[in-house]
A and B are shown apart, each in its own frame.
Chain A
Amino acid sequence: MSCERAEELTPGYLDGELDLARSLEVEQHMHECQICARAYRNQTTLRSSLKNEALYYGAPEKLKKRIQASLRKEAKSEVFPRAFGWRWLTVGASLAFMLLIGVVVWRPVPRSIRPSGDELLAQEIVSDHVRSLQLENHRIDVISEDPHTVKPWFDGKLDFAPPVKDLSGQEFPLLGGRLEYLNNRTVAALFYSRRKHFINLFIWPSEHAGATGETTTQRQGYNLIHWTSSGMNYWAISDLNSVELHEFARLVQQGQ
């Protein structure tokens, strides 16, 4: 082994990240080469000077209490729309303000047509959609084109059974499903595609048994379609054009 190669491998050796064969080669070289052996000793010395409790900034006890308190507040405030930001400093003030709004405006209006709630929900859905596309495997927890695999996967993970349709015949192949946290609850997310576009279909039980027509919105270049039927809320989102996304929504609703 050359000194150059040894120098390259020394950090990995030090960090225990080399395989056995390589480690042995490095060790062999250290026996033969004083310069590399010294460089290695330097690094171990450096390491031991960093392994010093005084350099580790553990959390102060009061920070833990502060965080627990703010988490409890945050957990409580999750019912309310987050229109006023969620930074801890403003949580108290927003809570009071939102309570006031709640008393004046919110209560008499049924949830399903509350516009500000839907606005925020739409924003949440866009974020979830974008996030799901950013991650490897598109964050599918169960990868399957078969509804009979995807649907049972949700069993025991949700308190409802989301309808899962096979739309491959209509060129909207199912890719899989996953759990998502939306609207303060765990929901089912089904992942479909059309050509190179991806569609997320979020499903969770509705508070109302009845059906509503489709509502369409656009946000950040994505098309969103929302409807309620058979006691379930549906949100479909994609960068697909709105005509085809409507076709998708229609197919999902067919026979319900």
Chain B
Amino acid sequence: MVDGGVEKQEERLQKQNKLASFEEAVLPHLDAAHNLARWLTRNDADADDVVQEAYLRAFKFFGGFHGADGRSWLLAIVRNTCYTWMQHNRSPELTVSLDDDVPEIESKDLNPEALLLQSADTQMVRQALEDLPVEFREVLVLRELEEMSYREIASITDLPLGTVMSRLARGRKRLQLALTNRKHAEV
């Protein structure tokens, strides 16, 4: 069974190659993957599990990845894995449809508070961002923490560009409002 041996060896080599090129293309984005998962799940242990599962999924589908942008490709998988996780855990976030029940916030309501914002501390910002509905949170995290372009965010979230823009704008307003309210409560 000489042939079988050679074949096995080739197969092993092929697998090693796949693993090596996967690690090279996708492993450098582990921080980004974890950051997104942590903000979406809002829990350390869950974020770890989700990221690990996302990596295994990514590995399985790596054959279908020919693009140059490993980060966006991975983050889209991480996001999907997070949503699957939220569904399994019956996260209440997913049962609320955001576009209907959220009153629009007028910019003029926010303006006098400009200076208050400057003194918002880290913990306060973290809490306010965590409290945002997931749809706003995810675009803000991708934009402000990952510094991704609208186009990249649209491809990760599978949303039209216009929706990405409006969610970002509304998410920022809500965040501003939440922070100024907190500061008021403190004073």
- Listed in ascending order, the chain A residues whose CB lies under 8 Å from chain B are 7, 11-12, 15, 17, 35, 38-39, 41-43, 45-47, 49-52, 54-60, 63-64, 66-68, 70-72, 74-76, 78-79, 86-88, 128, 131, 139, 141, 179-182, 184-186, 207
- CB-CB under 8 A from A179, the residues of chain B are 63, 66
CB contacts between A and B, total, < 8 Å: 139
B75 at interface (Cβ–Cβ under 8 A)? no
B97 at interface (Cβ–Cβ under 8 A)? no
A-B contact pairs, 12 of them (CB 8 A): A11-B172, A17-B150, A38-B114, A39-B111, A41-B114, A56-B31, A58-B31, A67-B30, A70-B52, A71-B55, A76-B15, A185-B14
Q: Which of A59, A74, A141 has the most CB of B within 10 A?
A: A59
Interface residues on B, range: 35 or more
B135 at interface (Cβ–Cβ under 8 A)? no
Main SS at interface, chain A: helix
Q: A42-B114, A50-B129 are in contact. Are A181 and B63 (CB under 8 A)?
A: yes
Q: A42-B110, A46-B175, A72-B19 are in contact. Are A79 and B11 (CB under 8 A)?
A: yes
Our pick among A55, A68, A184 for the contact of B126 (Cβ within 8 Å) is A55
Question: In the complex, what distance in Å separates the CA atom of A55 from the CA atom of B175?
Answer: 14
Given contacts A47-B144, A63-B48, A63-B52, 14 further A-B contacts (CB under 8 A): A15-B143, A49-B118, A50-B129, A54-B122, A64-B27, A67-B30, A67-B51, A71-B23, A74-B56, A74-B59, A87-B56, A181-B61, A181-B63, A182-B63
Q: A41-B114, A86-B56, A181-B64 are in contact. Are A59 and B18 (CB under 8 A)?
A: no
Shortest A202–chain B CB gap in Å is 12
Q: In the complex, are the beta carbons of B60 and A86 less than 8 A apart? A: yes
Question: In the complex, what distance in Å separates the CA atom of A86 from the CA atom of B176?
Answer: 43
Q: In the complex, are the beta carbons of A71 and B19 less than 8 A apart? A: yes
Q: In the complex, are the beta carbons of A58 and B34 less than 8 A apart? A: yes
Shortest B152–chain A CB gap in Å is 11
B46 at interface (Cβ–Cβ under 8 A)? no
Q: A17-B150, A67-B30 are in contact. Are A46 and B172 (CB under 8 A)?
A: yes
- CB-CB under 8 A from A45, the residues of chain B are 114, 117-118
Please provide the 6 A-B residue pairs with the shortest distance between their CB atoms, ordered closest to farther: A181-B63, A59-B34, A57-B38, A50-B144, A58-B31, A75-B19
- CB-CB under 8 A from A51, the residues of chain B are 144
